[in-house]
Amino acid sequence: MSSELNIESPARINVADASKHAGELVEIRGWLYNLRKSGKIVFPIIRDGSGLMQCVAVKSNLPEPVFETLKNLTQESSFTIKGTVRAEPRAIGGYELDVADAQLVQRVSEEHPYPITPKDHGIEFLMDHRHLWLRSRRQHAAIRVRHEIVKGIRDYFDSHGFVLVDTPIFTPAACEGSTTLFEVDYFEDEKVYLTQSGQLYNEANAMAFGKVYCFGPTFRAEKSKTRRHLTEFWMVEPEIAFADLEEIKRVAEELILYLISRVLENRKEELKVLERDIAKLEAVHAPFPRMSYDEAVKLLQSRGSEIQWGGDFGNADETLLAQGFESPVIVDRYPAEIKAFYFQPDEQRPELALGVDIIAPDGYGEIVGGGQRIHDLALLEQRLVEHNLPREAFEWYLDIRRFGSVPHGGFGLGVERFVAWVCNLEHVRETIPYPRMLYRTRP
């Protein structure tokens, strides 16, 4: 319902920009977040996607229908509102709107109210309503931190001489082991797989462009039901020609530090909503602790882990390993046995792969995996045989070792695990708008 008030069309603003409009008459469009009533005054809090703002509607200052409209708003009803912005240090966001007019767009009916209320719903209910849950404050904050991190990743690589070269999602071969492949029916009885990693293509691209990155969704048919696993997740993967393991570690460390500084600079409000202990993020500093796999195993054993040399670190080991460190821990030179086929062996100890994992503090686990690749043709051919990989699907990959082969390497950083750590979230499912997990493919 619109009023008969003659208010000239004021500037349409986002709540986030309220500070630039103090004292001005403005219009805001959004949804009802909350409504408090106190006799002849109602206080609708509007949510416009950029922020929250309390509006103050005084009965005696408004035409009857406008006041009634506001008074009867239900949660998540959509409306537009006009009024004067006023600084109010005690209000959410620091500004309030003195209401002059309002118009309903859609009222949510009492018979079918908005399903998410302040009461405790349980995670399955909330995940079933993910399309609505994204409107809630914590979810909203986490997704905005994700956006900052994604933008930060692109800015970092774009400003350090990397070229974005996208890699395909339908692939003919495995990159990270054939047990976690999603198979897709292609045409004419052909089978393809959803990509586990753009790395193999990245290696070819690095020989064309020197320094490249790809950034997109990757897929793993992992039957893991942990707080760190998704079946569809986003990974950024840089790949650098002529790089050795040390260079790869240096770039990964620099990227992580840059991303944390970006979030601290631009997303403090969101971190506050998430009740993130900011001091812990501020404490992350270079150089990160560095240790070999050998040393990591000894450290774990001294801390009570059952791990034996040759074993892979489980979630509990990763948590234990990172304990007591303020920054992520860089672990390199793993037994080749437990790593993918493409790793360059250590020159002194060929049983070790020149691979590196970076383990985040506080139980967030491995956020980066990468290393130096095999550049010798004969050795790579031998590895394909040892790993039972179909030679014909890798012929093109072998070409990289035939035509000007050079040492090279890269890594993958998993966006969701990184965001989970930065936001201190219990589970990676809250770091991606629509998570895909072992038992969830909806909504």
Distance separating alpha carbons of residues 366 and 357, to the nearest angstrom: 6
How far is residue 305 CA from its own chain's centroid? 30
Nearest residue to Mg ion, scored by beta-carbon proximity: 369
The H or E element containing residue 96 is strand 95-106
Q: With CB under 5 A, what is the number of residues at the site for Mg ion?
A: 1
Q: Which is nearer to ligand 4AD, 77 or 197 (CB)?
A: 197
Taking the complex as a whole, how short is the minimal distance between the CB of residue 23 and ligand 4AD, in angstroms? 48
Cβ atoms 241, 210 nearer than 8 A: yes
Q: Does 222 bind ligand 4AD (CB under 6 A)?
A: yes
Nearest by Cα to 255 from 147, 412, 372, 144: 412
Cβ atoms 92, 272 nearer than 8 A: no
CA distances from 172 to 47, 65, 196, 212, 266 (A): 46, 64, 11, 22, 41
Distance separating alpha carbons of residues 198 and 218, to the nearest angstrom: 8
Interface residue with ligand 4AD among 130, 211, 220, 249 (CB under 6 A) is 220
Interface residue with ligand 4AD among 95, 215, 293, 411 (CB under 6 A) is 411
Interface residue with ligand 4AD among 171, 410, 425, 435 (CB under 6 A) is 410
Residue 335 binds which of Mg ion, ligand 4AD, none (CB < 5-8 A, kind-dependent): none
Q: Does 355 bind Mg ion (CB under 5 A)?
A: no
Q: Does 369 bind Mg ion (CB under 5 A)?
A: yes
Q: Which is nearer to ligand 4AD, 52 or 127 (CB)?
A: 127
The H or E element containing residue 69 is helix 64-71
Q: Which is nearer to ligand 4AD, 16 or 165 (CB)?
A: 165
CA distances from 48 to 18, 136, 159, 400 (A): 12, 12, 33, 51
Taking the complex as a whole, how short is the minimal distance between the CB of residue 234 and ligand 4AD, in angstroms? 8
Q: Which is nearer to Mg ion, 42 or 245 (CB)?
A: 245
Interhelix angle for 245-266 vs 415-423, to 10°? 50
Residue 368 binds which of Mg ion, ligand 4AD, none (CB < 5-8 A, kind-dependent): ligand 4AD
The H or E element containing residue 359 is strand 352-360
Residue range at the interface with ligand 4AD (CB under 6 A); choices 205-213, 256-264, 278-286, 363-371: 363-371
Q: Does 146 bind ligand 4AD (CB under 6 A)?
A: no
Q: Does 197 bind ligand 4AD (CB under 6 A)?
A: yes
Nearest by Cα to 413 from 271, 258, 300, 286: 258
Q: Does 335 bind Mg ion (CB under 5 A)?
A: no
Interface residue with ligand 4AD among 27, 332, 416, 430 (CB under 6 A) is 416
Nearest by Cα to 249 from 261, 259, 260, 240: 240
Taking the complex as a whole, how short is the minimal distance between the CB of residue 145 and ligand 4AD, in angstroms? 16
Q: Does 233 bind ligand 4AD (CB under 6 A)?
A: yes
The H or E element containing residue 215 is strand 211-219
The answer, yes or no, to whether the previous bond of 435 is cis (omega within 30 of 0) is no
Q: Which is nearer to ligand 4AD, 54 or 372 (CB)?
A: 372
The residue ranges that bind ligand 4AD (CB under 6 A) are 175-176, 197, 199, 220, 222, 229-230, 233, 235, 237, 366-370, 410-412, 414, 416-417, 428
